[in-house]
Amino acid sequence: MQRLLENKVVVVTGAGRGIGRGVAMLAAAHGARVVVNDLGGAEDGSGQDTGPAASVVDEIRAAGGEAVANGASVADWDSAHGIVASAIDNFGRIDCVINNAGNLRDAIFHKMTEEDFDAVVNVHLKGTFNVSRAAAPHFRAQTSGCFVNMTSTSGLIGNFGQANYAAAKLGIVGLSKSMALDMGRFRVRSNCIAPFAWSRLIGTIPTRTEEEQARVAKIQQMTPDKIAPLAIALCSDAAAEVTGQIFGVRNNEIFLFNQNRPIRYAHQGEGWTAEQVLDRALPAFAADFTPLERSGDVFRWDPM
């Protein structure tokens, strides 16, 4: 196996279990020195346990790799800077940040509490900003670096009962694009991955109906380790020209997502009245309206 990340230092957040663990393990196998960050909280983000991160570090070291554990919260500015400091203190540099830490607090929109919304946005969106912002000065100084940010089709397409999660994950897309634009002059790149994989977070999806049960059964086929190869590839020097993109991984499938661009145009030289918008513009656009769909409505075929 070609060691694509030889001598690079990689921070992986949420790396104690699931997708993050798979990414951390493969990064180490490709020669990276890894900071395994995981708060060790429950699915909703509550609590703390240093065990999961320490366990992954033990596995990496047992396989001959180098890694250190970090139990800080990405949602806190100072703690997030401490995660990056852990890379500098232990390995002398930082080359890649893989923002994977997450939590879920699903609720139908009209029943979602402020606490539920804030808790999810603070980990996913603010956490991605915090850790990335902490790494940015180092990337700028060394004129190199890579961000890989986990988004979701819940934000890109839609899903029931996940307004907090969808808002955070689509926010990450905008954040990632801004990071790519602002840091590009320093040869720093930033991309997103929308992962399809069974994890303990996905295990919180309700399975009350046959449709929900069938959906979860399909997701269970998609193991977290399937996400890692794309993440490692994006961190490698061979992908130095790839930035500002949104990818997806679904079992053995890799997708490139489109991004928002105008698709229809209407003009009226003297301007528009509200009545004219209703009479002319909206009917002209109607055939190209995006359907109100969930992720499962778009990805209708079984994972391959």
Q: Which residues are catalytic?
A: 165
Q: Which of 201, 193, 261, 198 is nearest to 232 (CA)?
A: 193
The H-or-E segment that residue 246 falls in is strand 246-250
Which amino acid belongs to residue 104? L
> Do 96 and 10 contact (CB within 8 A), yes or no?
yes
Tokens linked to 130: 């915090």
CA distance 10 to 49: 22
The H-or-E segment that residue 191 falls in is strand 188-196
CA distance 42 to 177: 30
**66-70 and 96-99: which strand pairing?**
unpaired
Tokens linked to 156: 């890109």
CB atoms within 10 A of CB 84: 25
CA distance 167 to 159: 11
Tokens linked to 18: 């699931």
Dihedral angle at the C-alpha atoms of 86, 238, 183, 187, nearest 10 degrees?
100
CA distance 145 to 135: 9
